[in-house]
Amino acid sequence: MTLTADPATVEQSTAERTHRVSRRRMRLRPAELVSGIVLLFLLVAAVAPQLLTFYDPLAIQPSDAFRAPSLLHWFGTDESGRDVYTRVIYGARSSLLIGVFATIIGLGLALILGAIAGLGSRPVDFAVNRLLEVLFAFPGLLLALLFITIFGVGVVTSTIAVGLATAPGYARIIRTQIISTRRSGYVEAATILGRSRRAVFGRNILPNVAWPLLALATLGIGQAIVWASALSFLGLGAVPPAAEWGAMLSAGRTYMTNAWWLTFFPGIFVVLSAAAATVLGHSIQRRNREL
């Protein structure tokens, strides 16, 4: 005796499973929720810092120097009497801008190199791969230091240096993704139909590379913030009295034994911003795999 399922029942159960899967994908994990709150706070600090503090980040008050954290000065004051909380809030703008623009530079260069290697002939692919291997032989910060040595110290050069240092890693990932997409059935069908390489790349390959790029960009912002802060700490990026986290760390290291808050709070914000961006990037990657 053969039992046949009711089509209506099967359709209903399928719809229920789809709904449950969709709800599971949309549900935020605690780490994702906390990261979202942190990133939202940093975004507000970068766009409208005056909403979070009423002090001037550069206002000097020598009589208030080295005051410990209190209700009046939440993060204490520095050697010039400036409010550390205010400087950390205003520092979010420069730190985030450096991270964003460095990531844009790195991904833009990586997309060019990855596309040349992934879409080019074997000799072209071989040449680009050898170039990337040479760049990989040097640590990223060493490449950034070399660029700054050649073109000078400053926020702009440190931003470009961090972007160039991160490009090789992104380029290899993009190349692999492009080659995998190029060998798919729908790309081969588009090629057989006579579409040009530019049309195939723009309509079939690039959209499938764009979503992984979003995850890479989110992860890259956190990494770029850390690297840019490290360069400023070494005196190769933003310099005091600029309200930038790395520069604040550099200025406060002299007083670490007597005024721990000068380095603790900028360092915590570097860690929080990098961790929040990393969690968000991994979340995007996980959701991309579930699609």
The total of structural domains in the chain comes to 1
Per-residue confidence (pLDDT) for residue 62, from 0 to 100: 87
Q: Tally Cβ neighbours within 10 Å of residue 235.
A: 13
Q: Identify whether 70 is part of a domain.
A: yes
Containing domain of residue 250, as a range?
A: 32-290
Per-residue confidence (pLDDT) for residue 86, from 0 to 100: 92
Q: Identify whether 11 is part of a domain.
A: no
Per-residue confidence (pLDDT) for residue 54, from 0 to 100: 87
- The pTM (predicted TM-score) of the whole model is 0.77
Residue 261, phi then psi, degrees to nearest 5: -70, -20
Q: Identify whether 9 is part of a domain.
A: no
Q: Identify whether 222 is part of a domain.
A: yes
What is the spatial distance between Cα 77 and Cα 66, in angstroms, rounded to a whole number?
Answer: 5
CATH number at residue 172: 1.10.3720.10
Alpha helices in 51-205 (DSSP H): 84-119, 122-136, 140-151, 155-182, 185-192, 197-200
Q: Identify whether 19 is part of a domain.
A: no
Which 8-state DSSP code applies to residue 62? Answer: G
Angle, to 10 degrees, between the axis of helix 206-233 and the axis of helix 245-252?
Answer: 20
Q: Identify whether 73 is part of a domain.
A: yes
Per-residue confidence (pLDDT) for residue 133, from 0 to 100: 82
Of 269, 277, 255, 215, nearest to 67 (Cα)? 255
Per-residue confidence (pLDDT) for residue 21, from 0 to 100: 45
Per-residue confidence (pLDDT) for residue 27, from 0 to 100: 67
Per-residue confidence (pLDDT) for residue 25, from 0 to 100: 52
Helix or strand or coil: residue 83? strand
CB 226 within 8 A of CB 73: no
For residue 18, the one-letter residue type is T
Give the CA distances from residue 2 to residues 5, 10, 12, 288, in Å, rounded to whole numbers and listed in that order.
Answer: 10, 17, 22, 40
Q: Identify whether 13 is part of a domain.
A: no
Per-residue confidence (pLDDT) for residue 150, from 0 to 100: 85
Q: Identify whether 45 is part of a domain.
A: yes
List the chain pLDDT tens, one digit each, 291 residues.
444 445 444 344 444 544 444 455 556 688 888 888 888 999 999 888 889 988 888 888 888 888 999 998 899 998 888 999 999 999 888 888 888 898 899 888 888 888 888 777 788 888 888 888 887 777 777 888 888 888 888 888 888 888 888 888 888 888 888 877 777 776 667 666 666 666 667 666 777 777 777 777 887 888 888 888 888 888 888 777 788 888 888 888 888 888 999 999 999 999 999 888 888 877 877 776 665
Per-residue confidence (pLDDT) for residue 291, from 0 to 100: 57
Per-residue confidence (pLDDT) for residue 148, from 0 to 100: 85
Per-residue confidence (pLDDT) for residue 193, from 0 to 100: 67
